[in-house]
Amino acid sequence: MLSDQGGPQHQDKSIPGVPLEEVPAGVDKSFRLPPPVFGTGLIEAIPVETILAGEDPEDRDGDGISGRANWVTAPDFVPESHVGGGPGLHLGRFSRKAQVSSLVQQVSAAYQQDIGITSDFLPEENPHPQAGSVALGDQVPDPEIPAATVLQTVMYVRLLSPSDQGERTGSVAQGEVVFAQLQCASCHVPAMKTGLHWIPQLSQQEARLYSDLLLHDMGPGLADDRPDGDATGSEWRTAPLWGTRLVAESLGGKAFFLHDGRATTLDQAIRAHGGEAQASRDAYVGLGSAEQQALLAFLGSL
């Protein structure tokens, strides 16, 4: 979105005296739930070549699944010393369409766009053309926080550990077998190993994220028609499944799944899959009730 049309994130609430932001006609828009932030340090530590090993953009193996990387340009403020920073193209790892290559960008943008705090990295408030001459935000001089505060938050997020899997019952074990049989693991890859890292807790660890971190075309039903980086309007990064059992707890007692929260049960989320996941979705629908419940038990244990 251009600066005279508003900021990159629609603000549907405002302080007294400031009109609500309207989305201009013809501007691409997409409703998205924010992804969880735990485990991002492990995702950051997975070597590029490990992720790229899962690419098959031309579907050479004929399985109907053709994941590919989203190569993006990092903002100028992201230091080259950070993963995903510096000149040139970088592998996108974070956000719904893997359009973010670094934790510095992710955290800086969250400060500015989600809670309206400017920093040395993003020192200006989001533009709000509908406000006219009305003073925006607050009267605190910008930037409101230094780079050091952002980098401390980056480190905090980097070290947030993913949750352990829940109780492994017989139904959960059966569901894991069904998960593999339906080829769900072709995109939701159970684990990837991190490389050498200066933080021991992130070095050569098995990250059981259940994602290949690649883009997949999920069909018109899940398309938002809004491209991000090299991702098309129907492509999404495979959502990591770790922490699935805690979704309801983290969202105030009610679960919401998929990029826009349209599904409130795992069954609904599976049935909404299309595109490259259509065959796995159809196979799930064709299962008996016992096998379906076993798969849901497995997913609900992650």
The predicted structure's pLDDT at residue 133: 46
Q: What is the largest CA-CA distance in the chain?
A: 64
Q: Give percent above pLDDT 90 in the chain.
A: 76
Check pLDDT > 60 for residue 3. no
The predicted structure's pLDDT at residue 130: 57
- The tens digit of pLDDT for each residue in 236-271 reads 999 999 999 999 988 888 999 999 999 999 999 999
Name the CATH superfamily housing domain 170-299: Cytochrome c-like domain (1.10.760.10)
Where residue 139 falls among pLDDT bands split at 50, 70, 90?
confident
A 10 A CB-CB count for 210 gives: 23
- The tens digit of pLDDT for each residue in 203-230 reads 999 999 999 999 999 999 999 999 998 9
Residue 296's contacts (CB-CB under 8 Å, 6 or more residues apart) are 175, 266, 267
Check pLDDT > 50 for residue 19. yes
Check pLDDT > 90 for residue 2. no
Three-state helix/strand/coil letters over 91-142: ECCECCCCCECCHHHHHHHHHHHHCCCCECCCCCCCCCHHHCCCCCCCCCCC
Q: Are 95 and 235 in contact (CB under 8 A)?
A: no
Cα distance between residue 59 and residue 46, in whole Å: 24
A 10 A CB-CB count for 227 gives: 15
Query: Mean pLDDT lowest for which of 2-6, 146-150, 164-168?
Result: 2-6
Where residue 128 falls among pLDDT bands split at 50, 70, 90?
low
Kindly state the helix (H) or strand (E) to which residue 45 belongs, with its residue range. Answer: helix 40-45
- DSSP bridge pairs for 91: 71
Cα 195 → chain centroid = 21
Q: Are 208 and 190 in contact (CB under 8 A)?
A: yes
SS3 175: helix
Q: In 3-state terms, the chain is what percent helix, strand and coil (to 5)?
A: 30, 10, 60
The predicted structure's pLDDT at residue 199: 97
Residue 213's contacts (CB-CB under 8 Å, 6 or more residues apart) are 43, 46, 51, 93, 98, 192, 237, 238
Where residue 195 falls among pLDDT bands split at 50, 70, 90?
very high
- The tens digit of pLDDT for each residue in 51-87 reads 999 999 998 989 999 999 999 999 999 999 999 999 9
Check pLDDT > 70 for residue 147. yes
Q: Are 119 and 149 in contact (CB under 8 A)?
A: yes
Dihedral sign for Cα atoms in the order 279, 176, 97, 125? positive
Look at residues 65, 88, 42 and name the one whose alpha carbon lies nearest to residue 214: 65
Extents of the domains making up the chain: 170-299
Q: What is the mean pLDDT of the chain?
A: 92
Dihedral sign for Cα atoms in the order 5, 11, 13, 15? negative
Check pLDDT > 50 for residue 99. yes
Where residue 126 falls among pLDDT bands split at 50, 70, 90?
confident
